Amino acid sequence: NDIFFQSNNVAYAQFDYADDCFRLIKNVDAGNVTCNGNLNVHSMDTIGDVDMILKQNNEDALELKSDDRIIANKVIQCGGNLKTQEIDTIAPLDMILKVSGGSFLELKTDDRIVANKVIQCGSNLKTQEIDTIAPLDLVLKRDNVSMVELQDGKTVLNTNTECNNVITCEDRKSVV
């Protein structure tokens, strides 16, 4: 036989022996409810337009805010894909993307993007300007072989060069 919990002959909860579960039949407006086993819930809702806070060890773990924000006070781990339209920081701070704990890409507040690993483009890379991050030489490679080097005050071509147009130089020195 099932056990029903009643008040004024109205059932509020039921222990179902066949399904081996405890069911709340009517809405329960209670302060703290303690469950020492599994609590399987079909849905939860707040009473009124207030925040819902999920706690772990009496600390806020996840807050469902009434202003359509979700605040996670713990690390959120996704087993599948994470799909979103926008990612933003909660303060004017740098955003750091990590892989296995190591910094991979940093979006800096001073309008820089710092890549701490090699960037590989599977298509064309279009840019207006390339600059070094320090007064160092810039080396353009193909298949890990230096093709063009911009050294301090000179350009070094490390391959045969074919010109399909006119090259104009102010200083007309030639080396044969």
What pLDDT, in 10s, does the model give residues 40-58? 777 777 777 888 888 888 8
The pLDDT of residue 145: 92
Burial of 102 (0-12, 13-18, 19+ CB in 10 A): exposed
What confidence score (pLDDT) does residue 56 get? 84
What's the CA gap between 72 and 56, in Å, rounded?
12
Whether the CB-CB separation of 47 and 55 falls below 8 Å is answered with no
DSSP state of 10: E
CA pair distance 131, 154, nearest whole angstrom: 15
Phi, psi angles (nearest 5°) of residue 11:
-75, 130
Answer whether 0.75 is exceeded by the pTM.
no
- Structure confidence by residue, pLDDT tens digits, 93-151: 999 998 888 898 999 999 988 998 888 888 888 888 888 888 889 999 988 899 999 99
The reported pLDDT for the residue numbered 30 is 65
Neighbours of 146 (CB within 10 A): 13
Predicted pLDDT of residue 116: 86
